Structure 1
Amino acid sequence: MRLSLSLLALGLTSVALPALAEEVNIYSHRQPELIQPLLDAFTAETGITTNVAFVDKGMAERLVAEGARSPADLILTVDIARLKQIVDAGVTQAVVDPVLEANIPATLRDTDNHWFGLTTRARIVYASKDRVQAGEVTTYEDLADPKWKGRICIRSGTNDYNIALLGAMIVHHGEDYAKTWAEAIKANLAKKPNGGDRDQIKAIAAGECDIALGNTYYMGQMLSDPETKPTAEMVRIDFPVFQDGGSHLNISGVAMTKAAPNKEAALKLMEWLASDEAQRIYAEKNHEFPVKDGVARSALVQGWGDFTPDTVSLSDVAAARPAALKIMEEIDFDN
């Protein structure tokens, strides 16, 4: 009863269940519509109920404040820096599990087994099919070229996805180069940064700019929606690379909280999220890249062709986050 009241107080979506029914309580930074198909399939297969609280900001602080009384079993979030921030806050526990080790590549899980990548996505260039020729943008460094002055759209420079990309630029070239690059991107903007990645696609289609930075799966979602497909079809995806590397990847991932009142059920969900079925749903519904070998990307994503993923350590990218955020603030990127 105490747990049920706590869940209701925290705004968790709950279902009336028998007293002994298994459940998993999730704090999620992911939009509910992106993960609900997965959770519904998990419940249908296992009978385990999932309760989700969408926590947009302050997840680590919330877990620290709740301490051992936290009702949360698992954290679902995007961006390696967010995962590392939560782990560094001391609110997660190590999970040593042969299923996770077999299904998730070592490069996409924490060396201390606190976080596990579930999908990857590339941060790439959206380009106007009419105004930008294929091959005009081959590297991220190319975006600093003055030829793009007044032609680039982007969401906030302090958005997690852009900070991670700048962090990767720091890993590749150092802070001084990364700052000069960010200043050049700002000088090339067509308008003040705003909106999300979908808004950048819309801005290109409307002629407000010619290219933008965005994640692959947003394009997949827009092309899969009859209402947004005509807009998305006016825009092409290009996979730039770093001059000494590949296309920037980031992850969505999961971690088990230190409190985890439903540890066994939570582990079952973690294992299931790394299974063939869950990875297939990620690919087909969200157009994200599966992490499990042998699970195909969606047909739509496969149609974009092959690309070379960057091989820099995601942990190194996360470690560069403070420096990247400092750069964006120092150059007042959004203004």
Structure 2
Amino acid sequence: MKRILATAGLAAMLAALLAACGAPATAPESETGSGDTAPPAGALNIYSARHYDSDKQLYAAFEAETGIKVNVRESGAPELLETMRAEGSRSPADVIIASDAGALYRFQQAGFTQPVRSAALEAAIPARYREENGHWFGLTKRARIIVFDPQLLSDAEVDTYADLAEPGLKGEVCVRSSTNIYNLSLMGELIERNGADAAAEWAKGVAANLARPPQGGDTAQIEAVAAGQCSAALVNHYYWVRLAEGPPEDRQKTSRTRLSFPDQDGAGTHINVTAAAVAANSASPENALRFIEFLATPRGQELLTTETKEFPLVEGAPLPSGLEQLPDFRQSDFAVQNLGQHQAAAQAIFDQAGWN
């Protein structure tokens, strides 16, 4: 009887051991999955609204320096925002990157960013280019300028944003849609500086001067000026620099135009930023912050700006080729964290003005 019990006990032990060894291990959730499994240690999930080949080099450089695996999801900022709404608290995002302070404001208002403190970032990034509580940090900056046809207009006719609303430019102005975040952020600063009534009058004046309905991106506005479809257009500086650094047919377009950095005798030219935030539900907030700090090093700044032609924000970072063509100019000292606060009012003003 004892022998039978011993044999049965041994069989049971063997069966349990085989079952344990043969049971499939729980597989980690894929980066496109929606389960509750946390991302593997040493991994970082980046939601980026940027679309540049040089960013692949940036991620590779960070991986090589830290050993942290980078997974990237690229899309437009509005699409990423809606994705995070759908994902809710289960969002795998660790870092959010967007090309406008107004866009980061939307993520922050939706509760998708978290405040962080970093002595390195606070030392490297001037206060007016970051959110005061550490919800996001500006990394590169751009100027919203006027491109014009020097055969048709003088420098004095387009040396302020207000000039674009002057009756003398009727039928001569090209712009992109008012829903574009670049225009909303510019309007946000104008509302803050001049008041809603003055901003509304400006928008009405620009809308009355349009050579065509708002359409296309900033590059399309430069091309329209070069082709004689209009005499002046609002664009970010780097679109012009990229064309000027491009193939002969693109350089020919820029050769037909000139740049105005508006309001040099006033508040200065409107400045915006590309910025990054640590996602609110990040499973790796330390790694996320480490990545953003890497972007604020001279190497990170170089990789961020070499292809985009934005201005580095960190002192001592190399200047991308092509920017030497631009003049020194007075920059607005407006705190970029405030650019998003008037977005609803800005859109209402544009709609009422007929700037669609």
Tell me whether the two structures share a fold, i.e. TM-score over 0.5.
yes
Match of 2:228 in 1: 207
Q: 1:54 aligns with which of 74, 85, 103?
A: 74
Q: Does 1:180 align with 2:201?
A: yes
Indicate if the aligned counterparts of 2:112 and 2:280 stay in contact, CA closer than 8 A.
yes
Match of 1:196 in 2: 217
Partners of 2:194 and 2:264 in 1: how far apart?
10
Q: Displacement, 1:243? A: 6.4
How far residue 2 of structure 1 moved from its aligned partner, in angstroms, is 5.8
Q: Given the superposition, is the C-alpha separation of residues 32 and 8 from structure 1 closer, same or farther in structure 2, using an over 3 Å criterion?
A: farther
User: How far does the alpha carbon of each residue in 1:146-168 deviate from its partner, in whole angstroms, 9 at most, with x for none?
Assistant: 11111111111221101111111
CA distance in structure 1 between the aligned counterparts of 2:147 and 2:115, rounded to whole angstroms: 38
Measured in 1, the distance between the counterparts of 2:52 and 2:322 equals: 23
Match of 2:55 in 1: 35
Which one of the candidate residues 273, 278, 284 is aligned to 1:262? 284
1:165 partner SS: helix
Offset of residue 44 of structure 1: 3.6
Equivalent position of 1:282 in the other structure:
304
Which residue in the other structure is 1:160 paired with? 181
Q: Percent identity?
A: 37
One of 142, 164, 167 as aligned partner of 1:121: 142
Alignment of 1:3-14 (within 5 A): 4-5=29-30, 7-9=31-33
- In the alignment, the residues of structure 2 paired with residue 3 and residue 84 of structure 1 have an alpha-carbon distance, to the nearest angstrom, of 33
Q: Which amino acid aligns with 1:316?
A: N
Q: Measure how far apart 1:292 and its partner are.
A: 0.8
Q: CA deviation at 1:193?
A: 0.7
Please show how residues 125-140 of structure 1 align to structure 2 within 5 Å.
Answer: 125-140=146-161
Instruction: Name structure 2 gaps, 5 residues minimum.
Output: 1-25
- What are the equivalent positions in structure 2 for 1:228-239 lying under 5 Å apart? 228-239=250-261
Q: Secondary structure at the match of 2:307?
A: helix
Deviation at 1:43, TM superposition (A): 2.8
**Structure-2 residue corresponding to 1:301:** 323
Which secondary structure state, in structure 2, belongs to the residue aligned with residue 93 of structure 1? Answer: coil
The more displaced of 123-132 and 248-257 is 123-132
Please give the secondary structure, in 1, of the residue aligned with 2:144. Answer: strand
> CA separation of 1:43/1:311 partners in 2, compared to 1, >3 Å: closer, same or farther?
same
Range 193-202 or range 157-166, more displaced:
157-166
In structure 2, give the amino acid aligned to 1:59.
L
The answer to whether the 8 Å contact 1:99/1:271 transfers is yes
What is the alpha-carbon distance in structure 2 between the residues aligned to residue 37 and residue 204 of structure 1? 34
How far is the alpha carbon of 1:241 from its aligned partner? 1.5
Report if the CA contact (8 A) 1:27-1:72 is conserved. yes
Judging changes above 3 Å, is the alpha-carbon distance between structure 1 residues 151 and 262 closer, same or farther for their aligned structure 2 residues? same
2:129 and 2:335 in contact (8 A); partners too: no
Q: 1:2 to 1:233 in 2, by over 3 A?
A: farther
Could you tell me whether the CA contact under 8 Å between 2:28 and 2:40 is conserved in 1? no
Matched, 1:319 2:341: yes
Partner of 1:13: none
1:26 aligns with 2:50: no
The AA in structure 2 aligned to 1:49 is: K
Question: Shift in Å at residue 3 of structure 1?
Answer: 5.1
- Asked if structure 2 preserves the Cα contact closer than 8 Å seen for 1:172 and 1:244, the reply is no
Q: 1:128 to 1:92 in 2, by over 3 A?
A: same
- Sort the Cα spacing of 1:71 and 1:134 in 2 relative to 1 into closer, same or farther, 3 A: same
When normalised by structure 2's length, the TM-score is 0.85
Structure 1 residues 142, 242: closer, same or farther in 2, change over 3 A?
Answer: farther
User: Structure 2 vs 1, CA of residues 60 and 299 (structure 1 numbering), >3 Å: closer, same or farther?
Assistant: closer
Change (3 A) 1:314 1:180: same
Contact 1:220 1:286 in 2 (8 A): no
Question: Hey, what's the Cα distance between the residues in 2 that align with 1:309 and 1:145?
Answer: 23
Contact (CA 8 Å) 2:55, 2:303: kept in 1 or not? no
Aligned 8 A contact 2:97 2:276 in 1 = yes
For residue 130 of structure 1, report the CA deviation from its aligned partner: 2.8
Q: What CA distance in whole angstroms lies between the structure 1 residues aligned with 2:269 and 2:28?
A: 44
Deviation, structure 1 residue 59:
3.0
Instruction: Output the CA distance in 2 between the equivalents of 1:31 and 1:155.
Output: 20
Structure with max Cα Rg: 2
Change (3 A) 1:36 1:251: same
Distance 2:288 2:254 in 1: 37
Moved more, 295-304 or 170-179: 295-304
User: Residue 145 of structure 1 corresponds to which residue in structure 2?
Assistant: 166
Give RMSD over aligned pairs.
2.1
